[in-house]
């Protein structure tokens, strides 16, 4: 977490009967100085269904969004809205993804 940046990645692959699914999520957040909790973010979830035909295997989104840490009463909350265009997708996959997120935070 260098300075105002948070950077990381999560990888997984699930194997089960008739399932072989890969997911990769990289995330980059920039906490805007002096903004009282406002940040810019990108955190697409890239997937590959290894059981699908090669042309229908990948979903690769690209985009980003904005979030804010705020309080509702004494409860700290993280709100986020982001949009991602699927630059690669299965034949019947969605063109876009919209993520709306609301997290309750319980800091120490």
Render each residue's pLDDT in the chain as its tens digit; 108 residues. Answer: 789 999 999 999 999 999 999 999 999 999 999 999 999 999 999 999 999 998 999 999 999 999 999 999 999 999 999 999 999 999 999 999 999 999 999 988
Domain boundaries, position 71:
5-105
CA distance 99 to 24: 16
Residue 8, CA atoms < 13 Å, CB-side half-sphere: 4
Torsion angle, CA of 70/73/75/78, rounded to 10 degrees?
Answer: -20
Sign of the Cα pseudo-torsion (52, 53, 54, 60, in order): negative
pTM of this structure: 0.89
How many domains in the chain?
Answer: 1
């Amino acid at each position: 977490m260098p300075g105002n940046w948070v950077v990381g990645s999560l990888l997984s692959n699930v194997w089960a009967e008739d399932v072989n699914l890969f997911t990769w999520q990289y995330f980059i957040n920039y906490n805007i100085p002096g903004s009282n909790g406002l940040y810019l973010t990108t955190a697409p979830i890239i997937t590959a269904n290894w059981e699908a035909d090669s042309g229908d295997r990948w979903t690769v989104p690209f985009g980003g969004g904005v979030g804010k840490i705020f309080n509702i009463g004494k409860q700290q909350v993280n709100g986020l809205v982001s949009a991602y265009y699927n630059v690669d997708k299965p034949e019947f996959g969605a063109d876009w993804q919209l993520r709306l997120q609301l997290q309750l935070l319980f800091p120490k």
